[in-house]
Chain A
Amino acid sequence: QKEVEQNSGPLSVPEGAIASLNCTYSDRGSQSFFWYRQYSGKSPELIMFIYSNGDKEDGRFTAQLNKASQYVSLLIRDSQPSDSATYLCAVRVNTGTASKLTFGTGTRLQVTL
């Protein structure tokens, strides 16, 4: 079983729709959860992070965390063609100092006109 699992996609949504990206993780000790966006040929860019159960909103983005189900998701409202990218879910187990991230393989999102 992979430590962090994501559907590779592509997930295709029309412009203006809501894109829902999902991620599950296996380590119950995970405490911090991150979503990164990576355009083709570029490095990852931090979109959202969430530490507590529930929802966290930032502009068009909402991260949702359910630790009991070991599930984290990212919703993108009013999807735009510029949102087309690979979205990486990352999980961290905090050990007192900056701890390493475990990444999923990413979900490729395509926003169509």
Chain B
Amino acid sequence: GAVVSQHPSRVICKSGTSVKIECRSLDFQATTMFWYRQFPKQSLMLMATSNEGSKATYEQGVEKDKFLINHASLTLSTLTVTSAHPEDSSFYICSASQRNQPQHFGDGTRLSIL
């Protein structure tokens, strides 16, 4: 149980492109989804917390207009990186949890901006 699916697993695109990443909880209803970014050899950095049907809460220093988060249902959240630039290249990982249950992570999306 507690399977979280994340797509796509890898994206390579040109600078200026917008990229959408999907995160789905497959066998449970995720009241909260989280989006993280991880640079090589560094720990996870929380970008934002998303509750179903409400606006995401962004961590300090994360641009909400650049990283658009939508959590339209209890099983789906999306992260859109708008007008991506090379410095946005990173490993983006979502997680989902049901109420105060542990967070379960998706497989991550490796984003490379040329």
Given A43-B93, A106-B43: A100 and B49 within 8 A (CB)?
Answer: yes
A103 contacts across to B, CB distance below 8 A: 43-44
Give the interface centre of A36, A44, A97 by most chain B CB atoms within 10 Å.
A44
Q: Is the CB of A97 within 8 A of B99?
A: yes
Q: Is the CB of A32 within 8 A of B100?
A: yes
The A interface, classified by DSSP as helix, strand, loop or mixed, is loop
- Report B14-36 CB contacts with A as 1/0, cut-off 8 Å: 00000000000000000110100
- Report B79-100 CB contacts with A as 1/0, cut-off 8 Å: 0000000000000010001111
Residue of B whose beta carbon sits closest to that of A48: B102
Q: Is the CB of B102 within 8 A of A97?
A: no
- Report B96-108 CB contacts with A as 1/0, cut-off 8 Å: 0111111111111
Does chain B have a CB within 8 A of A63? no
Does chain A have a CB within 8 A of B51? yes
Q: Is the CB of B102 within 8 A of A44?
A: no
Does chain B have a CB within 8 A of A98? yes
A-B CB proximity, top 8 nearest: A98-B32, A43-B108, A105-B43, A43-B105, A98-B97, A43-B93, A103-B44, A44-B105
**Residues A27-51 near B (CB distance < 8 A):** 32, 34, 36, 42-46, 49
CA distance A69 to B44 in the complex (A): 25
B98 contacts across to A, CB distance below 8 A: 98
Does chain A have a CB within 8 A of B60? no
A46 contacts across to B, CB distance below 8 A: 2, 102-105
Q: Please, how many residues of chain A have a CB less than 8 angstroms from a CB on the other chain?
A: 20
Residue of A whose beta carbon sits closest to that of B31: A98
A36 contacts across to B, CB distance below 8 A: 105
Give the interface centre of B6, B97, B100, B106 by most chain A CB atoms within 10 Å.
B100
Q: How far is the CB of A13 from chain B (nearest CB, A)?
A: 21
Does chain B have a CB within 8 A of A88? yes
Residue of B whose beta carbon sits closest to that of A32: B100
Does chain B have a CB within 8 A of A112? no
Residue of A whose beta carbon sits closest to that of B103: A101
B102 contacts across to A, CB distance below 8 A: 32, 34, 46, 49
